[in-house]
Amino acid sequence: MTERRVTHATFTIERRYEASVARVFAAWAKPEAKQRWFACHGDWMPGPYEFDFRVGGREHLSTRDTDGVDHIYDAIYQDIVPGERIIYAYQMQLDTRRISVSLATVEFRAEGDGTRLVFTEQAAFLDGYDRPEEREIGTRAGLENLACELQRQTATA
């Protein structure tokens, strides 16, 4: 029998991007851009992507890792203020096991010619399948991918 337990944790990541708030926000709001930096995980196989960017809208991505395990992400948007913030709740599953449920707040602040992004995750990790430290490392990698996406956009502009 599975032991039922919940570990609650909050972490915040701040980073600066050399792009305007409008461009950084667009990378979170437009499906083509979001999928490029959010889904890319080297040799993993992403499945169909669903993205409905409005309050109450849902986002879904299932990615199969090299061991054949499906990593499933399901989000529902709770608050959107263009150019200011995005709040979404999401759950993660490994195949059929739910490993966490989170509330993520992304704040965008103009800083000179660039943008300061503040990402706050308030999470409930379920039944010992995942840990706050690992989630924070994964999230930092995702926010680094976003920097690459913004650079690619600049290079091709």
Binding region for other proteins (CB under 8 A): 4, 6, 8, 10, 55-56, 76, 78-79, 81, 84-85, 87, 89, 91, 98, 101-103, 105, 107, 120, 122-124, 126
Q: Identify which of residues 7 and 153 has a Cβ nearer to other proteins in the complex.
A: 7
Instruction: For residue 12, give every residue at least 6 positions away whose Cβ sits within 8 Å of its Cβ, in sequence order, or none.
Output: 118, 119, 120, 121
Nearest to 86 by CA among 102, 108, 101: 108
Q: Identify which of residues 7 and 145 has a Cβ nearer to other proteins in the complex.
A: 7
Nearest to 34 by CA among 54, 53, 47, 19: 53
Shortest gap between Cβ of 15 and other proteins (angstroms)?
A: 17
Separation between Cα atoms, residue 11 and residue 22, nearest integer Å: 25
Shortest gap between Cβ of 156 and other proteins (angstroms)?
A: 31
Shortest gap between Cβ of 1 and other proteins (angstroms)?
A: 11
**Torsion sign over Cα 94, 68, 57, 151:** positive
Q: Identify which of residues 4 and 54 has a Cβ nearer to other proteins in the complex.
A: 4
Shortest gap between Cβ of 107 and other proteins (angstroms)?
A: 6
